[in-house]
Amino acid sequence: MMYHARATLATAKRIILQLSHDKRTIALMFLAPTLLMALLAWVFSDRDQMFSQVAPALLGVFPFIIMFLITSITTLRERTSGTLERLMSTRVAKSDIVLGYAIAFGLFGVIQSIITSLVAVYLLGMDVLGPLWFVFVVAVMDTFLGVALGLLASAFSKTEFQAVQFMPAFIFPQILIGGLFVPLTQMPGLLETIAYCLPLTYAIDALNLVTTNTEIVIEMWRDVGVVGLFIVAAIILASLTLRRRS
């Protein structure tokens, strides 16, 4: 157990150091979601109430997309460069590697979510009826969801182009039918059923609920719990499908 913990932390430390020297990736992680929120606020500059209605859900979607891209592509580069294969030729278990990656990317994702949330609330004027700390919690969960699905996508990709192809194949449909544009109850029955099988639906629902409820309701914790289950399932699947040969 002690060895596995050291291997996981060593993997996480290596990825953190590696990413910290990649200025473009750091800029993409920390600046892109914030700039997108600022652009959204500019679009609704004459309709502050509309911005507060739309922004909370996108506060989870933007970091989710960015972390999915960075995680899947960076992990794939580890495989194609031979780094991952060298690691897997040692005593390090596949689960140690995947957990190490998840911790490292998740840490950057948490910082990203906090920065974006603080800017949205205190600089851009996003106003919600519910507690702000819950908005931060869901934003962080969305970030980890993007990391977990990015790790899973990288396990099925051989090139960076294939990793990016998962965006229109898996990520964009979740955004379209997840309740961001049309309430789930107003969708055709089949689409509504499919939507409830996708993780981003619950993240969007939690953020939509916090804009209309002054207190935490049980549905919010249900949504957070379901997102957490999807995160755990994706990490487990990523560990099981990680190949020892590139």
The tens digit of pLDDT for each residue in 7-54 reads 788 888 888 888 888 888 888 888 888 999 999 999 888 876 788 888
**Cα angle at 202 between 53 and 115, to 5 degrees?**
60
Q: Is the pTM of this model over 0.85?
A: yes
When the pLDDT of each residue in the chain is averaged and rounded to a whole number, the result is 84
Q: CA-CA distances (angstroms) from residue 21 to 14, 97, 117, 146?
A: 11, 20, 25, 22
Residues of the chain with pLDDT under 50: 246
Closest Cα to residue 108, out of 69, 58, 147, 60? 147
pLDDT at 160: 73
pLDDT at 230: 95
CA–CA distance, 41 with 142 (Å, rounded to integer)? 21
pLDDT at 223: 93
Q: Identify whether the C-beta of residue 228 lies closer than 8 Å to the C-beta of residue 141.
A: yes
Q: Identify whether the C-beta of residue 235 lies closer than 8 Å to the C-beta of residue 147.
A: no
pLDDT at 199: 92
